[in-house]
Amino acid sequence: MPAAAAAAAQAPGVEKIQPRPSKSIAASPLSIGFETLDRRMFDPGRTYPYLANLGVKWARCQTGWARTETSKGQYDFAWLDSAVDNLLKIGIQPWFNLGYGNRLYTPAAPNEFAVGWVPLASEETRAAWLRYTGKLAEHFATRVRHWEIWNEPNISGFWHPDKPDPARYVELVRITAQAIRRRLPKAVVIGGAFAGFPALDYAEGCCQAGLCEYVDKISFHPYRPRPELNYAPEIRTFRGMIARYKPGMAIWQGENGAPSTGNSAGALRDLAWNETRQAKWLLRRILIDLSLEIEVTSYFHTVDMVNYVWSTGKSGQTNAKGLLRGADYTPKPSYYAYRNVCALFDADTRRADFLARFDRMPSSSKACEVEWASFLRHGSAIYAYWLPADPMADPAPATARIQLWSGTGGRLEEPVLVDLLSGEISPLTHVSRGGGTVSIGNLPVRDYPLLIANRAVFS
């Protein structure tokens, strides 16, 4: 926790966002990554007390064929039963990512987890995969409804032993979706799990090969240092492409995270991250997804993954994207930041089309537009704004003046400033009204989202 946030937590009279346990939230678009249990990458039992109080309603879990079928034709789901049941007990709905290979049937895989090895190489492998998928669907039919097929098929690390091929991926989706729906007719099948943007050529190839006929949602993983950079136009293009094949199909942001150290394994590892930068990045990623009305957005990961397992085996490095530290499972600033978001942005908060204008930009950020979005919660307006700066730049605190128009759509009788990093709620003193607008001067501007909200939101 940052020093300022820790001090505020102890200071008498400081108003803060009150956390909401996941069980107390009826519905939400917010998810957490619970992947890599198939590779025994973390101890799930140590995470449940923290997840129970985080406020997410979804968790992405990888199913792990190699961990489940260690002898041909014998299936042991105990490890996955434990994860699913414990998540459900604390109010979090698991959704499954279905993969990877199994050395019983893909013996060329270089490690016991067969990460990324596709079960299409032979008739025996294909038949074994479909038997496993069917058993999995039968076993979890009453507990898990959402099933995502494979992970990042558009990159070579997760599509062995051949090169990525949209038609082959769609073939895998077709046979797998059929196996699931025979046992679970009301299953929600998710396709894609595309690695990053631009993946549009590959995604278009999948759609041309019939992907949208077999799935109900399409997911993607938009890793990038600046979450907002080119993101909104890419999402519009992505949605437009999908709409040509299946109008109205929703998209899920299924995996995205940032490290908290500069020597992390995995995506975005080559930058000078620290725990505060990670927390700011998380806030920007989640808020931009919410502003674009992405149906579910998931942060990767619950806890740092020590000795991270690649498709080639154990890396010897920690993938430091967790909300909890891998060494001792204590919370990072990113945990508290996400908990603050979860408390406010459940299904009762939705995007709104209120207007805002920044009259005076911070002098240090003339070349950088303010990113902002508006929301409505229980009849009250919420405005989110931040500088979409380079996360490594740490720009100096600055101030600006803003004019807000909520019209009759959202109340803003008593505007307050909400810091999503620290959780502090502060009164706004430089407020004037006139002509249907609210003007606020001397407004802090940071490189992470702050909120202007009606105080009634917290009552």
Show contacts of 327-331: CB within 8 Å, 24+ apart: 329/43, 329/46, 329/47, 329/50, 329/303, 331/1, 331/50
> Which candidate, 447, 21, 92, 37, places its Cα nearest to that of 296?
92
Specify whether 328 is located in the same domain as 437.
no
pLDDT tens figures, 67-124: 999 999 999 999 999 999 999 999 999 999 999 999 999 999 998 999 999 999 999 9
Is the Cα dihedral 181, 183, 186, 192 positive or negative? negative
State mean pLDDT over 32-60: 98
Specify whether 363 is located in the same domain as 337.
no
The reported pLDDT for the residue numbered 316 is 87
pLDDT tens figures, 128-180: 999 999 999 999 999 999 999 999 999 999 999 999 999 999 999 999 999 99
Task: Check if the beta carbon of residue 113 is closer than 8 Å to that of residue 67.
Answer: yes
The reported pLDDT for the residue numbered 179 is 98
Confidence of residue 344 (pLDDT cuts 50, 70, 90): very high
**Cα–Cα distance between 166 and 206 in angstroms, integer?**
5
Specify whether 328 is located in the same domain as 410.
no
All residues at 6 or more sequence positions from 278 whose CB lies less than 8 Å from its CB, including other chains: 258, 259, 260, 321, 332, 333, 334
Confidence of residue 459 (pLDDT cuts 50, 70, 90): confident
All residues at 6 or more sequence positions from 81 whose CB lies less than 8 Å from its CB, including other chains: 139
Task: Check if the beta carbon of residue 234 is closer than 8 Å to that of residue 215.
Answer: no
pLDDT tens figures, 368-380: 589 999 999 999 9
The reported pLDDT for the residue numbered 298 is 98
Percent share of the chain, pLDDT over 70 = 95
Q: Can you give the residue range of the structural domain that contains 272?
A: 3-347
Which two tokens mark 11? 């200071």
Specify whether 412 is located in the same domain as 321.
no
Specify whether 158 is located in the same domain as 267.
yes
* pLDDT above 90: residue 269: yes
Assign 363 to helix, strand or coil: helix
Specify whether 259 is located in the same domain as 366.
no
The reported pLDDT for the residue numbered 362 is 54
**Cα–Cα distance between 453 and 437 in angstroms, integer?**
14
Residues written for the chain: 459
Which two tokens mark 250? 């929703």
Instruction: Tell which of 320, 347, 374 closes a domain.
Output: 347
**Cα–Cα distance between 206 and 304 in angstroms, integer?**
33
Here the CATH number for the domain that contains residue 305 is: 3.20.20.80
Amino acid identity, position 138: E
Specify whether 343 is located in the same domain as 376.
no
**Cα–Cα distance between 156 and 413 in angstroms, integer?**
54
Indicate the number of domains in the chain: 2
Instruction: Tell which of 299, 332, 347 closes a domain.
Output: 347
pLDDT tens figures, 183-222: 999 999 999 999 987 789 999 999 999 999 999 999 999 9
* pLDDT above 50: residue 5: no
The reported pLDDT for the residue numbered 286 is 98
The reported pLDDT for the residue numbered 409 is 78
**Cα–Cα distance between 48 and 190 in angstroms, integer?**
26
pLDDT tens figures, 406-431: 776 789 999 999 999 999 999 999 99
State mean pLDDT over 391-399: 92
Task: Check if the beta carbon of residue 205 is closer than 8 Å to that of residue 164.
Answer: no
Specify whether 264 is located in the same domain as 184.
yes
The reported pLDDT for the residue numbered 8 is 38
Specify whether 319 is located in the same domain as 208.
yes
Specify whether 364 is located in the same domain as 291.
no
Sheet with 355-360, side-by-side order of all strands: 355-360, 398-405, 437-445, 431-434
Which two tokens mark 271? 């930058």
The reported pLDDT for the residue numbered 11 is 56
**Cα–Cα distance between 219 and 152 in angstroms, integer?**
10
The reported pLDDT for the residue numbered 101 is 96
DSSP string covering 226-290, please? STTTTHHHHHHHHHHHHHHHSTT-EEEE------SSTT-SSTTTTS---HHHHHHHHHHHHHHHH
* pLDDT above 90: residue 363: no
Specify whether 372 is located in the same domain as 292.
no
DSSP H or E stretch at residue 129: helix 123-139
Specify whether 58 is located in the same domain as 170.
yes
C-beta neighbour count of 43 within 10 angstroms: 10
Torsions phi, psi of 288, nearest 5? Answer: -70, -35
Instruction: Tell which of 347, 381, 398 closes a domain.
Output: 347
User: Measuring CA to CA, how many Å separate 74 from each of 122, 131, 224, 276, 446?
Assistant: 20, 11, 41, 46, 55
The reported pLDDT for the residue numbered 282 is 98
The reported pLDDT for the residue numbered 310 is 77
Here the CATH number for the domain that contains residue 445 is: 2.60.40.1180
User: Number of H helices and number of E strands within the chain?
Assistant: 11, 21
Average pLDDT, the chain: 93
HSE, CB side, 13 Å, CA atoms: give it for residue 240.
Answer: 7
